[in-house]
Amino acid sequence: MSPTAARIVIGVDSSTQSTKALAVDVDSGAVVGQGRAAHTVSGGAGRESDPEQWWEALVTALEQTGYAEAAQAVAIGGQQHGLVTLDEKGAPVRPALLWNDVRSAPQAQALVRRFGAPWWAQRTGSVPGASFTIAKWAWLRENEPEAADRVTAIRLPHDYLTERLTGTATTDRGDASGTGWWTPQGYATQLLDEVGLASSMLPRVVEPGQPAGQVRAAGSGTGRGSAVPLREGTLVGAGTGDNMAAALGLGLEPGVPVLSLGTSGTVYAVTRGRPTDPSGTVAGFADALGAWLPLACTLNCTLAVDRIASLLSLDRQAVEPGGSAVVLPYFDGERTPNLPFASGLLTGLRHDTTPGQLLQAAYDGAAYSLLAALDDVLRAGGEELAADTPLLLIGGGARGKAWQDTVRRLAGRAVQIPAAQEIVALGAAAQAAGLLTGEPADAVARRWGTAAGPVFEPLPRDESARVLIAATLQRAERGGLFAQGGGLGNDSATT
């Protein structure tokens, strides 16, 4: 296909570990070009990345599609919550604190105590945890005050990249709803004052369906880094957070649940009602259009299971049924349940426990929290799940039979695996296409048929496994095993 034979848009997914770009035909939805470049995430006490490498990865991924110069519009979906701090010249003050950096847990707890969980849920839709941007900023002020004093602007990851394309500071309601300082009425002055921020330090929230701007000639913000290969004047969509972009990419109708199995695990649905869950299990996010996206998230998903497989020297599909083992693979703390100081837990070993049973237990432990939160997600948005509605399974894990079977067994429901891949980038492409056609982005995705794929019938719900995991979790929490600096209490979780 010639690069000029059709209207082409590019959607981008700037995720935790890499940037993916898809060049998509506006009329047919066909993916005509792809690009990918990796990111580096620093370990140690936290999870950080240099935003400059996101820009270089964006440039590389755009070039690899082969359609950068032909694209008529582009939009960026990005990992949520990350704290990007910029100085007066627009350069990063320090590496970005990523969503899965849990050092900010004490600051999140202090913020919740300050106003109370019900107040937070009603005001912002969510009770902030360590992942939220407001907690990360509070951590930076307390732990690196000299760096915080140099900050003149704060951005989310997708905001940072979009601003470097257009030269203007913008965000969208979906990604902004994960900061902890956005409300349906706009930025909350009371909360900004609480953490020492001014609204002038934050980007303008673009209305759904409106562009953020156009690609400017320099295309690289302050002139740093490689020049973007897009044409000057190319339309740039508002972009959004990765979960919101995935909802667009699937063309979600209200009440249809999604389980996303990636670095993190998420369960969410588009709802017509605004979620306000004071328990903090469900984050009451906005979607990228005019509705809502209640969501529960686990920090430990496919990478945690892969780590267990590696420790056991097993292929990740080499699971075996049976056994009494329970694995709670909380290698990076946990968000659902809210256990930021947790570590992995293995219990229930017997002489006849096999490595394959341990691996299956890791799958079960990773999937359990998401499935347990499914009803909470729908209830928070005032939706009900029909008995015959399959769960949409997306993300890297969705392609694996062990993941598919685990979800079917623990949920007792059918699962549908969309044939389309890179759903976040597809959602960003649909947003970009809507700028050209005037359609809502979710309608574009439905026209493209992105959610179509095989349906696998349910397996009998394994209630005994769910009860065993829940009981193990309760005993571990009751024994103080997951507290900050915790160890085995009198009521030990080990057997």
CA dihedral 106, 108, 110, 111 (to 10 degrees): 170
First to last CA, the chain: 62
Q: Which amino acid is at 192?
A: L
d(CA 101, CA 191): 21
242 is catalytic: yes
Phi and psi torsions of 402, nearest 5°: -65, -40
- Report which of 191, 212, 214 is spatially closest to residue 203, judged by C-alpha positions: 212
Please state at what angle helix 117-124 crosses helix 105-115, rounded to 10 degrees. 90
Q: Which amino acid is at 193?
A: D
Q: Of 175, 242, 277, 364, which is the active-site residue?
A: 242
Residue 395 makes CB contacts below 8 A (sequence gap 6+) with: 259, 260, 261, 262, 265, 301, 302
- Report which of 261, 279, 283, 286 is spatially closest to residue 418, judged by C-alpha positions: 261
d(CA 98, CA 96): 6
DSSP 343-401: --EEE---TT--HHHHHHHHHHHHHHHHHHHHHHHHHHTT----TTPPEEEESGGGG-H
Residues tagged active-site? 242
